[in-house]
Structure 1
């Protein structure tokens, strides 16, 4: 597992760099207003993805070794297309129709690709999972360069066109790899399997959706009370948060893949604690680095509108660290099919966000949104910590790498550079 964690960490570090590059480019290319549009559309896409993920998300991973691929992939693909069309149509009644067709294309293609990637996780093919997660960033950037500088299409729409092209290409490539082991004659639609996929999927996605609302409601409050520009400025700080979280989320995926395929509960807890301390220390390191960077550098890198970025990161830092660690524990509970606690922690954070945002965001704007997010993250994470340490003993060493683990990490790094 430690080798898988290390490889996943390296891949997530590459994604972190690519993601920062994309954020820097988009803020300089399209400004705070364009970044605000991108953030709102991606937030809408994320909401749609939660509905799609009932079949294409963790259900694919959880049941990958329990049923034949032909029996679960067919459900996932059909659901991806239906939700990818239906939910944007519902959204169109309350939001601008300007990006309606982009949203449909993004929803369908991203969901189809997610089905394939999550299947790799369930099959414990972490190598392919890491590869396609990196390629989602890298290929997106390549298509942006082609569309903006070769085709000469430079509006903010280029961002979405490039992302659609990226999803399509990666879906075709990943399906080609999956199809090598598929038998068309065995494709079937079992009511029993469909109900099991749905039952597990909606329970995990309910928690994820509540947590997403907890993460993203501030965007909509800021847009309503302070305008789209404030969303663009605030979104850069959130982009830093999510870039840092790619490490913990990827470690969580490795852990989840191991837990759902394990019958030893003590071993699963030990693996959770290993992932927990790696996530804690790496996230802390990234936060220290980001807070040491002078505020003027952020303005120079992202544009003069983004001088507040360092202050935003500072206010978000406690919550970023809390979520980075609780992500690990959350995936442990998902892996052992204990989903109620995930819903409880997400609901606690969401209720706090909804109630406090009405009073704080109109008064304090971006700073208020940061304080609310950070406090909410700490509250929801605290619920998970409390439950996890009810079933296991708490030790300070859970957050400190052992000498043996440090030596192993150094050897791996030296091996890469040899």
Structure 2
């Protein structure tokens, strides 16, 4: 791994975490639990679109960036982004109505186009640019929201989506100039063979990611149907904390994935995976304990009176949060060596459990039931991934404990300049 890449990626993710929670606090206090519920549903729909778009703009861009020229893969990503970004939101509008479908179309197109550029940076091992754009997506969004609310006086929840559209569009334009600098536009071409390889790798990785997303978000739709949009807003805060805690594992995973797809040494990849696994496990455990030590009244004071049971939600989600934080590392290892079947299988197991149990548990226990189902689903799917990884490698309990020498090595790499 590049010297300092883990540390810099973690810092960028930590900044995203701070900015995201600032936005969550602002939105809950400005638009309440109902407004937060609307935002959560639209963003969940956007994520569905993104998974389809990511067949060409996601992991396939990163994986093949070192194998083909930029001008041979980027056209597929851009065209696919526009097609999916228009058609899929239109289809989803039949489920949610047309109130926010126009916003969803623009969000889908520009977010997918931007994702193509950002994932290209990962494949080129340009982690600095990846980190910069992931931070800017949050920072610019917040700046635009404040401008729209306080300058243009649009105070409804629409301001959230309008600001996000302009944010994605601006960052796409800027990043495109940077991509095209290293791209010979005259040599842009469409190869059937390259297109097929992009699609074949992309749909396999995205199937797993989409199934895992449904494990993460299907409870939103069940809650909306059985308990109303307000319950979605309340439950979404617990999910927001889950994703905040996953900052560490996702930071490590991005750097690990970029390293694996550019190397052929399997043994070295396994060792780096185990080190990343140890770091993710211990830091995630620390943050879970820290959040559970915060009094429940503090959450109510920060997010509003509707969110008084946030600590209870985090408590019931915590086993699954820890399981996913560790399995994220292993999942990126399998994606990096192009072993994708196990990722699909583990996500499918979790999804089947989520669907069946949600039909019976959520109508009876509401938000608490959604927490229990989500946590068990995370643990089930992660267990299969652990089993497969340790079937191929040797298991030791020290895989979850950093040695003194590893701590020193990690600190040296983290703080050493390139």
Give TM-score, length-normalised by structure 1.
0.97
Contact 2:53–2:81 under 8 Å retained in 1 = yes
Query: 1:92 deviation in Å?
Result: 1.7
Q: Determine the structure 2 residue equivalent to 1:229.
A: 230
Q: Determine the structure 2 residue equivalent to 1:391.
A: 392
Q: Which moved more, 1:279-288 or 1:369-378?
A: 279-288
Query: 1:247 deviation in Å?
Result: 2.1
Q: Determine the structure 2 residue equivalent to 1:364.
A: 365
Q: Determine the structure 1 residue equivalent to 2:103.
A: 102
Aligned residues: CA RMSD: 1.3
Query: 1:168 deviation in Å?
Result: 0.9
Q: Determine the structure 2 residue equivalent to 1:324.
A: 325
Q: Determine the structure 2 residue equivalent to 1:120.
A: 121
Query: 1:409 deviation in Å?
Result: 4.9
Query: 1:211 deviation in Å?
Result: 0.6
Partners of 2:66 and 2:413 in 1: CA distance: 30
Q: Does 1:312 align with 2:288?
A: no
User: Where do 5+ consecutive residues of structure 1 fail to align?
Assistant: none
Q: Determine the structure 2 residue equivalent to 1:165.
A: 166
Q: Determine the structure 2 residue equivalent to 1:299.
A: 300
- The aligned runs of 1:93-242 (5 Å cut-off) are 93-242=94-243
Q: Which moved more, 1:146-155 or 1:51-60?
A: 146-155
Q: Determine the structure 2 residue equivalent to 1:246.
A: 247
Contact 2:6–2:414 under 8 Å retained in 1 = no
Partners of 1:414 and 1:85 in 2: CA distance: 44
Query: 1:274 deviation in Å?
Result: 1.3
Contact 2:34–2:233 under 8 Å retained in 1 = yes
Give the number of aligned pairs: 416
Partners of 1:376 and 1:96 in 2: CA distance: 30
Deviation string for 1:255-284 (max 9, x for gaps)?
Answer: 111111111000000111111111111211
Q: Determine the structure 1 residue equivalent to 2:257.
A: 256
Deviation string for 1:178-228 (max 9, x for gaps)?
Answer: 111111111000111101100000000001111111111100100111000
Query: 1:16 deviation in Å?
Result: 1.1
Q: Determine the structure 1 residue equivalent to 2:337.
A: 336
Query: 1:410 deviation in Å?
Result: 5.0
Query: 1:404 deviation in Å?
Result: 2.4
Contact 2:4–2:416 under 8 Å retained in 1 = no
Q: Determine the structure 2 residue equivalent to 1:69.
A: 70
Partners of 2:140 and 2:104 in 1: CA distance: 19
Q: Which moved more, 1:199-208 or 1:4-13?
A: 4-13
